[in-house]
């Protein structure tokens, strides 16, 4: 009898939350349309494969030899020839103003030195303010110059014949950024939708005093929270579906694993992000605080999740903390399942971690929620 009553009130809270959300068109757009829209627009932005670096050329030599060199420099499209200037100082200007991000300078007497088999002094200058671009640009330029460096050519070739390492990229052969970034984007969007919305939603109920009204009814706090969470888990799962579908259609993100693993992983992840939302709500007394609190968690979490930079490159003292970030486990699950076709057994560790985190966060937040009431 008691169980029936609990279920009944759970259902009622869910119904109320659902109809409240569905009635507000803007809210619905926030929950479903905006994450999907953001994925599509920003998915195109996510391209760490740097190419077409705008480059200014200063060819002072003006010989067939130097022209060959400059043409070869742009052959593989890592650099894009943007303009030619007669004077090196103008090349500097272009870098300073940001019109170009790299400069290729071929000094007077280049052809002459090549003919004499002197080391020719070609210079490539790369703008270091954008690190990604600078790394790719300077690597490509070094490699190019090493290969072009007349006279060194031979030693490189004899060396390479001795032992070779054949690289093989697994799972994402063409190393397309959108493919491996999608899980991270998905995790961020879900966190954004669920944690902020629950944190602010609960804070609003407190602000307007409706929370106190509900609490005088015989509904128990845990049931109330559960009833508030379940609809958002549903919305979150709809988001996951829509984003994966679009990711597949628009960005060719594969789906190699099983549907069940994705569903279970997403469910566990949403569980923990909602817990975070509730926890933040119990810590704040206004919507403004709740919003700031959600951000104070989200931004560092994003950095520590391995979304942008690999966890293995972080210092040893920082790595244990990343275990506490639900996003980290979710990204590993999604990368594993979508790209590598990993099954539940391969990902057991991450699933367990996510479950424990979810239970832990929710337990703390429910306890805090109760305490605030008394």
Partner 1 sequence: MAVAHKEVLHIIRDARAVYMALGLPVVMLMLFGYGISQDVDRIPMSVVDQDRTPASRRMSEALVAGGDFVREPDLASPDDAETALRSGRVKAVLLVPRGFERDLARGVPAAAQLLVDGSDGTTATVALGDAAGILQATSSERAVRASLSAGPRVRVRFNPTMRSTYNMVSGVIVLILAMVASLLSSLTIAREWEQGSMEQLFATPVSRSQIIVGKLIPYTGLGFVQTLLVITVGSYMFGVPIRGSLVTLFGCSMLFLLAMLGTGLIASVIAKSQLVAVQFALMTSYMPVAMISGFMFPIANMPKWLQAISMVVPGRYYLTTLRGVLLKGNGIDVLARDAITLAGFASALLVIAVWRFRRRLA
Site for partner 1 in 180-239 (CB under 8 A): 180-181, 192, 196-197, 200-201, 204, 207
* Touching partner 1, residues 37-76 (CB under 8 A): 37-38, 41-42, 44-54
Does 258 participate in binding partner 1 (rule CB under 8 A)? no
Residues 6+ apart with CB under 8 A from 10: 223, 226, 227, 230
* Touching partner 1, residues 81-100 (CB under 8 A): 95-98
Among 176, 220, 368, 372, the residue binding partner 1 under the rule CB under 8 A is 176
Q: In terms of C-beta distances under 8 Å and separation of at least 24 residues, what long-range contacts does 352-357 make, across chains too?
A: 353/323, 353/329, 354/265, 354/268, 354/269, 354/272, 354/326, 354/329, 354/330, 355/268, 357/272, 357/324, 357/326, 357/329
Does 107 participate in binding partner 1 (rule CB under 8 A)? no
CB of 6 to partner 1, least distance (A): 29
CB of 137 to partner 1, least distance (A): 8
- C-alpha distance from residue 92 to each of 51, 56, 69, 79, 107 (Å): 21, 9, 20, 17, 14
Residues 213 and 3 sit within 8 Å (Cβ to Cβ): no
Cβ atoms within 10 Å of 318's Cβ, excluding its own: 10
- Between 3 and 169, whose beta carbon lies closer to partner 1? 169
- Between 208 and 217, whose beta carbon lies closer to partner 1? 208
- Between 31 and 357, whose beta carbon lies closer to partner 1? 31
Number of residues that bind partner 1 (CB under 8 A): 116
CB of 120 to partner 1, least distance (A): 9
CB of 9 to partner 1, least distance (A): 25
Residues 101 and 137 sit within 8 Å (Cβ to Cβ): yes
Q: Which residue has the tokens 């959300």?
A: 21
- C-alpha dihedral sign at 359, 361, 363, 366: negative
Query: Rounded to an integer, what distance in angstroms lies between the CA atom of residue 254 and that of residue 176?
Result: 12
Among 27, 36, 214, 367, the residue binding partner 1 under the rule CB under 8 A is 27
Burial of 110 by CB count in 10 Å (0-12 exposed, 13-18 middle, 19+ buried)?
A: buried
CB of 291 to partner 1, least distance (A): 6
- Between 8 and 286, whose beta carbon lies closer to partner 1? 286
Beta bridge partners of 81: 55
CB of 109 to partner 1, least distance (A): 15
CB of 104 to partner 1, least distance (A): 10
CB of 183 to partner 1, least distance (A): 8
* Touching partner 1, residues 300-359 (CB under 8 A): 300, 303-304, 306, 308-310, 312-315, 318, 332, 335-336, 339-342, 346-347, 349-350
Q: What angle separates helix 64-73 from helix 131-148, to the nearest 10 degrees?
A: 140
* Touching partner 1, residues 114-173 (CB under 8 A): 119, 121-135, 138-139, 141-142, 145-146, 149, 151-152, 155-156, 158-173
- Between 63 and 177, whose beta carbon lies closer to partner 1? 177
Cβ atoms within 10 Å of 319's Cβ, excluding its own: 13
Instruction: Give 242's Cβ-side CA count (13 Å radius).
Output: 18
- Between 10 and 106, whose beta carbon lies closer to partner 1? 106
């Amino acid at each position: 009898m008691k169980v029936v009553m609990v279920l009944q009130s759970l259902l009622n809270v869910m119904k109320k939350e659902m109809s409240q959300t569905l009635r507000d068109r803007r809210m619905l757009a926030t929950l479903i349309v905006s994450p999907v829209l953001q994925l599509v627009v920003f998915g195109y932005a996510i391209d760490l494969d740097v190419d077409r670096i705008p480059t200014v050329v200063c060819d002072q030599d003006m010989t067939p030899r130097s022209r060959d060199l400059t043409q070869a420099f742009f052959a593989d499209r890592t650099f894009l020839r943007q303009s030619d200037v007669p004077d090196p100082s103008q090349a500097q200007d272009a870098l300073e103003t940001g019109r170009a991000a790299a400069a290729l300078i071929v000094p007077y007497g280049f052809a002459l030195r090549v003919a004499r088999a002197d080391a020719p002094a070609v210079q490539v200058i790369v703008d270091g303010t954008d690190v990604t671009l600078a790394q790719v640009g300077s690597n490509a330029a070094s490699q190019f110059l090493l290969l072009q460096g007349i006279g060194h050519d031979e030693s490189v070739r004899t060396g390479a014949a001795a032992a070779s390492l054949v690289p093989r990229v697994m799972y994402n052969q063409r190393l397309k950024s959108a493919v491996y970034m999608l899980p991270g984007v998905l995790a961020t969007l879900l966190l954004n939708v669920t944690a902020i919305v629950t944190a602010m939603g609960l804070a609003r109920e407190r602000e307007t005093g409706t929370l106190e009204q509900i609490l005088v009814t015989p509904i128990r706090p845990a049931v109330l929270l559960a009833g508030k969470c379940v609809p958002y888990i549903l919305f979150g799962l709809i988001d996951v579906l829509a984003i994966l579908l679009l990711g597949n259609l628009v960005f060719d993100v594969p789906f190699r694993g099983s549907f069940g693993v994705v569903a279970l992983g997403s469910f566990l992840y949403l569980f923990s992000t909602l817990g975070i939302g509730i926890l933040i709500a119990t810590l704040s007394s206004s919507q403004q605080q709740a919003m700031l609190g959600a951000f104070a968690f989200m931004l560092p979490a994003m950095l520590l999740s391995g979304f942008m930079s690999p966890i293995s490159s972080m210092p040893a003292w920082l790595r244990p903390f990343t275990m506490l970030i639900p996003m980290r486990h979710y990204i590993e699950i999604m990368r594993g399942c979508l790209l590598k076709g990993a099954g539940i057994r391969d990902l057991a560790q991450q699933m367990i971690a996510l479950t424990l985190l979810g239970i832990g966060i929710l337990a703390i937040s429910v306890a805090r929620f109760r305490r605030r009431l008394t």
